[in-house]
Amino acid sequence: MKTYLANPSGYCQGVSRAIALALSFKKKYQDKPCYVLGALVHNETVTSELNKYGIISLTEKISNVDKIKKLPKGAAVIFTAHGHDKKLEELLKSKDMVYLDATCPIVELSASNIKKAIKDGRQVIYVGTPNHPETVAMLSIDKEVYLYQDLMDDMKSVIKDKTPFVSSQTTLSTYELEDIFKKIKEVIPGAIFQKEICQETKIRQAAVKKLPNDVDAVFVVGGKDSSNTKKLYELAKKHFSTLKIFYILNEHDIDPIKDKLKGCLKCAIISGASTPLTETMKIKVKLDEIW
Ligand code: SF4
C-alpha cells in the first residue's frame, strides 16, 4: 500500500523536554526508587520505555495524594508534563522527597494566565476535558476556577463576574473551541477569551486538513489517553467522513484490522504529539509492505 506521512511527526517540544528531564533526573538519583505521578506523557510505549530505565509510572485511577501516601520512603518523584496541583510539592517536601516538575512550559504559561486573572479578582471558566490531568491542575489553582462543563446548565448563577476570564486546555480542537466560546459569549457577552491551544497541537490539526484527498484510509497514531491524538482522530473522522479512519498505538494493531484494509491502495498516517517517531515509522514500513 502507498503511504503518506503527515508533517510534523514525532514528539512536540514539551514531550521531548519532559522525557529528557525525567531521564536525567533518574540518573541523578539513581539509588532512589523513581515514580511518575501518572503517565509522564500519554503514550503507552513511552511509559514502558521509561519503566526499563527504572522510572515507574503510577497510572492507577486514584488521586495523587493517595499515590504519594503509598510511596516508599526516600522516593524520587516526577510530576507529569500536563501540570499538577502545586500544593503536592509542599506535601513531598514535608516527606523529604525529591521531585522533578516536568510540566510543559506552555501549560505553565496557561496556568500563570489563570493565576493573573484570579489575582485581578476575576472568575475563571476553564474549557478542558474533565479529569484530564491538565484540567485537574488548572482547577486546583483556585476555587474561582470553574470547569465549563459544570456550568453548562446554569452559568449565570455561578459566574457573577461580568468579564470572566475564559481559558482552555492546550490540546483541544481549535474548531470545537470556537463553538464553545461562542456559546459562552451568548450568556456572558463581556467574557474575555484566551485560547491556550498550543502551536504544536494547532500544526498537527492543520496537517489533518492537508492530507491528500485521494487516500482510502487514515491512521491516527497515539496513546489511548492522549488528548491531542483523540482530537486528531475526531478531526480526521469529520474531515474525511467517507474514509476508513483507524486509531492505533503501534504496528501490532494493524494485523487485527487487516481485513478492513482490503481494497485500500493509499493511506495517510498522522501521529499525536507524544507518539515516538520510531513507532510511526514502524507502522509506515508495515503498511508499505502490506501489498
Ligand atoms: Fe506542551 Fe503542546 Fe506538547 Fe502539550 S502538546 S506537551 S502543551 S507543546
pLDDT at 57 over 80: yes
Ligand 1, atom 2, residue with closest C-alpha = 198
Residue type, 39: A
Q: Is 234 a catalytic residue?
A: no
Ligand 1, atom 3, residue with closest C-alpha = 14
What pLDDT sits at residue 153?
Answer: 85
- The per-residue pLDDT for range 243-280, each reduced to its tens digit, is 999 999 999 999 999 999 999 999 999 999 999 999 99
- The per-residue pLDDT for range 223-236, each reduced to its tens digit, is 999 999 999 999 99
Average pLDDT estimate for 162-176: 95
What pLDDT sits at residue 152?
Answer: 87
C-alpha 222 to ligand 1 mean position (Å): 14
Tell me what the pLDDT averaged over the chain comes to.
96
* Pocket mutation for ligand 1, best pick of 11, 106, 274 (most atoms within 8 Å of C-beta): 106
How many C-beta atoms lie closer than 10 Å to residue 219's C-beta?
28
What pLDDT sits at residue 197?
Answer: 95
The band of 175, judged by pLDDT with boundaries at 50, 70 and 90, is confident
List the catalytic residue out of 49, 90, 134, 251. Answer: 134
Rounded Cα distance, 147 and 138, in Å:
9
CA 232 to chain centre: 12
Rounded Cα distance, 130 and 148, in Å:
9
The CA-atom distances, in angstroms, between 194 and each of 97, 110, 126, 127, 236 are 36, 9, 10, 10, 25
What pLDDT sits at residue 142?
Answer: 98
C-alpha 156 to ligand 1 mean position (Å): 32
Q: Could you tell me the three cell numbers for 212?
A: 491528500
What pLDDT sits at residue 290?
Answer: 86
Which residues lie across from 115 on neighbouring strands? none
C-alpha 263 to ligand 1 mean position (Å): 36
**Does the C-beta of 13 come closer than 6 Å to ligand 1?**
yes
The band of 291, judged by pLDDT with boundaries at 50, 70 and 90, is confident
Residues 6+ apart with CB under 8 A from 161: 122, 123
- The per-residue pLDDT for range 78-118, each reduced to its tens digit, is 999 999 999 999 999 999 999 999 999 999 999 999 999 99
Rounded Cα distance, 88 and 102, in Å:
14
Average pLDDT estimate for 64-81: 97
Rounded Cα distance, 146 and 231, in Å:
22
- The per-residue pLDDT for range 16-25, each reduced to its tens digit, is 999 999 999 9
**Does the C-beta of 273 come closer than 6 Å to ligand 1?**
yes
Which residues lie across from 79 on neighbouring strands? 101
**Does the C-beta of 104 come closer than 6 Å to ligand 1?**
yes
C-alpha 205 to ligand 1 mean position (Å): 13
Q: Could you tell me the three cell numbers for 105?
A: 512550559
